[in-house]
Amino acid sequence: MFNSNWGTTMTMLWWDRLAEKKIKSAMDEGAFERLARHGQKLVNDHDATNDQWVANHILEMNQLLPDWLQLRKDVHGARGVVIAALREFEEAEQRLDPSRPGDRAILNRLEERYVERAREINRSIDQHNVRCPSIFLELPRFQEDLISRRRRQVH
């Protein structure tokens, strides 16, 4: 009786030998020396059963992120600038007298600085929110009119 697995086994042995031969030839030519992680231990870093394992692995090994994740990272890093501008205004508001023209001018400039920073980061937030794959991952925008609304409530 003929074993049907025999042909598959022979094909796999032939395929394995061919692959080994190609790998050895590439190694002899130095093809693997240009790889980013040349000489480093391979890491079993992902669940190979995941459909997107190869894509995630390539992105991670080359330190690349999808556009929306890079935007998220950039927004996270820039949030401090906007918050600092708001705090700077709030601190100045505590010590300055808005009825004095010079103090009012300083507060107006600090408000403009906050609005500029908020608009700048909001552009990145809007790009992130359009590109991210889920509404649950969207980032909230900074309120550009936050200071002006507060100032109107006081008067």
- Are 54 and 87 within one domain? no
Secondary structure (3-state) at 129: helix
- Of 61, 85, 109, the residue that ends a domain is 61
- Are 99 and 129 within one domain? yes
Amino acid at 82: V
> For residue 11, what pLDDT band results from cuts at 50, 70 and 90?
low
Instruction: List the domain range (segments joined by +) for residue 47.
Output: 5-61
Residue-wise pLDDT for 49-92, tens only, equals: 666 777 777 777 787 778 888 899 999 999 999 999 999 999 99
C-alpha to C-alpha distances, 90 to 16, 85, 127, 147, nearest whole angstrom: 70, 9, 29, 9
- Arithmetic mean of pLDDT, 13-18: 74
- Are 57 and 107 within one domain? no
Q: What is the pLDDT of residue 129?
A: 95
Count of domains in the chain?
2
Range from 54-63, 86-95, 119-128, 131-140 carrying the lowest mean pLDDT: 54-63
- Are 32 and 74 within one domain? no
Q: What is the pLDDT of residue 8?
A: 54
* Residue 1 pLDDT exceeds 90: no
Q: Which residue's structure tokens are 């600092």?
A: 84
pTM of the predicted structure, to 2 decimals: 0.60
- Are 51 and 71 within one domain? no
- Are 72 and 52 within one domain? no
